[in-house]
A and B are shown apart, each in its own frame.
Chain A
Amino acid sequence: MNSGIAGIFTDEHKVVEAARTVRQTFNSVEAISPYPLHGMEDALQIPRSCIPYVTFVGGLVGMFTGLFITIWTSAYDWPINVGGKPYVSLPAFIPIVFELTILFGALSSVVALAWFCRIPKLNPPIIDPDLSSHKFALFIPTSDKSFNAEQAENLLRQVGALEVKKVSEY
């Protein structure tokens, strides 16, 4: 789908530095690491995730869903006298509203995560199996505006990649 050139690193600090350098040439450079690297977002100039907005909207939807089902069912669809309490016993509905707010907020965040990370994904390409354990990679896709295979390979070697690979699929 999306091929490109990957450079493999073993040092956490080096890869972040390398990324910062490579990012100056290639806008769409991507880093792959076994754990979140401190400073990588900054190095690659990744914008802040927009998921909190999704969570907020999800939470709001949950809250209104909660308010709607409690009030509508208890007071409008079939009002029933329960223990002499008013049909809209708002204080008693708060726990339901609260729980639904949390539930919708949490689930919408996870759905958003899946959406933005494009997971679940069948057969993700594996550049190096150790990338999930102790190695790091920088990847320059062919789709990058200023992609040039030779330049990319050289640059990666220059910044300290132990190995540079052509990757057919990303």
Chain B
Amino acid sequence: MIKRKQLVLGNKTLVDITNDICEPVESIPKKGWITLFLGAKTLMIFYFGIIGYILANGIGLLGVNHPIAWGTMIVTFVFWIGIGHAGTLISAILFLFRQKWRTSVARTAEAMTVFAVMTAGLFPLLHTGRPWLDFWLFPYPNQRGPLWVNFRSPLLWDVFAVSTYATVSIVFWYIGMVPDFATLKDRAKNKIRKIVYGALSLGWRGTARNWSHYEMVYLLLAGLSTPLVLSVHTIVSFDFAVSNLPGWHTTIFPPYFVAGAIFSGFAMVITLMTCVRIGFPKFKDYITIDHMEVMNKIIMTTGLMVGYAYTSEFFIAWYSGNVYERYVFVNRALGTYGWCYWAMVSCNVLLPQIFWFKKARRSLTTMFIISIFVNIGMWFERFVITVTSLHHDFLPSSWGNYAWSFFDGCILFGSFGMFLTLFLGYLRVFPAISIAEIKTVMHVGKDGGHS
């Protein structure tokens, strides 16, 4: 039998764990965090300013046009939604597979999910021509007949999928945090903290019967989240796959999108975790190099999966014998936006291959750089799918190029402002590692401990 690696280093006691994890929440932030937070917050305020300006003047400020009616907003939406998937994967799917190492990264990964979905969720709402009427997408009784909605539209599926996903992710995340809030409440020295965390903990006490129900619900939510997370990116991929546009109309999209989502999500987890490890050195005992290595293996594997998808698309395009389909793929690689395609291939397929080497898998610097590139590559993947398919479609007369504008850049980078603000805030407000859960695995891999 292979000897298990220790999941928690440094011979921690229960008290140590509680103290270590509560420290960021209970201590006063240091310079580094404050600088980052202010930077992110400024970017977020700028982002909202830009959104306000676009709302006031029209979506035409972005580069969207005829024939490319979807651009940065949808690309970035798919990007963020994809990132969200890693969190659910870690917290739900790995939970079902009894992967104990998930414990120390699950909370933060889930937080990433929630924030990524929040960031992403804004885009489909804002990208419409008249965002103030977005509520028409919900089937609610009305005075128009009533006039309902078109349940055949993938966008409506999106509404249901993304809102369900957001709801379930938040609930799942929150349920996981309830016992920790109780811990924080009990440790709280000042009244306000006591009240706030008391309210958040919902009066959780941790009796054996409660734990019994709790574990059951956690398992159920994990079980429900697993098909949900797969369905969400499947449905997002339906936005494209169900249409009749060459380059979109592909049956491979659901698994391709899900693999890509996990790929990009794990890259983002690596990015964030390397930073968390630097910012909170005590977390190094919980989020060990071993954790990172496992995730890098997943990145490499899913990278190969998207690579397979890219190849398969080309093969099918050729094999279909359809002129439009063939043209789109030739154009994808060699056309105006060929550079995006090759940026995507090198970032997503070629670069992660370095993780075949153990040294690279365990080098924080390498993995940080690779993870950044993977995220760039995955943004380009969505750009390639959305824009290059649209820009040269059926009738050559209506071909066109994306009309890049200043606002496209603002929207893309601004969304990071929003995400990072939320994430940095989270690190200081919520326990970044599940206190209750980590205690159940603290002995894993230790001599004399049981697994």
Contacts and interface: CB of A to CB of B under 8 A. Distances in A.
A/B contact in complex, CB under 8 angstroms: yes
A34 B183 contact: yes
B156 interface: yes
A126 B182 CA distance: 11
A51 B152 contact: no
Contact of B13 (A107, A123, A134): A134
Counting chain B CB atoms within 10 Å of each CB, which of A41, A77, A121, A134 scores highest? A134
Counting chain B CB atoms within 10 Å of each CB, which of A46, A55, A103 scores highest? A103
Contacts of A163: none
B186 interface: yes
Contacts of B251: none
Contact of B208 (A40, A99, A110, A125): A40
Contact of B217 (A46, A51, A134): A51
A20 to B, nearest CB: 12
A96 B160 contact: yes
B213 A49 contact: yes
A133 B18 contact: yes
A38 B186 contact: no
Given A41-B212, A133-B186, A100 B204 contact: no
Nearest to B158: A95
Contacts of B217: 49, 51, 109-110, 112-113
Given A31-B208, A46-B208, A99 B160 contact: yes
Contact of B157 (A99, A110, A139): A99
Contacts of B210: 116-117
B14 A40 contact: no
B202 A119 contact: yes
A37 B211 contact: yes
B63 to A, nearest CB: 29
A143 interface: no
B331 to A, nearest CB: 28
B131 interface: no
B18 A103 contact: no
Interface residues of B, number: 62
Contacts of B146: 77-78
Interface stretch (B79-87, B221-229, B256-264, B296-304): B221-229
Counting chain A CB atoms within 10 Å of each CB, which of B150, B151, B168, B215 scores highest? B151
Contacts of A93: 151-152
Contacts of B145: 78
Nearest to A103: B164
Contacts of B154: 95
Given A52-B220, A133-B15, A134-B13, A46 B209 contact: yes
B245 interface: no
Interface in A124-163: 124-126, 129-134, 139
Given A49-B212, A96-B151, A133-B14, A35 B202 contact: no
Contacts of B213: 49, 51, 112-113, 116-117
Contacts of A103: 160, 164, 167-168
A102 B209 CA distance: 26
A169 to B, nearest CB: 12
B440 A36 contact: yes
B412 interface: no
Given A34-B183, A34-B436, A132-B186, A52 B216 contact: yes
Closest 5 CB pairs of A and B: A121-B203, A134-B14, A73-B148, A49-B216, A129-B186
30 contacts: A30-B207, A32-B206, A33-B206, A34-B439, A35-B211, A35-B439, A37-B211, A41-B208, A46-B212, A48-B212, A52-B220, A73-B149, A95-B154, A98-B231, A103-B168, A105-B220, A106-B221, A109-B220, A117-B209, A117-B214, A122-B203, A123-B203, A124-B203, A124-B204, A131-B186, A131-B205, A132-B187, A132-B206, A133-B18, A134-B14
Given A30-B208, A109-B221, A109-B224, 12 more contacts: A33-B208, A34-B206, A35-B436, A40-B208, A73-B148, A96-B151, A100-B164, A103-B167, A107-B171, A112-B213, A125-B205, A133-B14
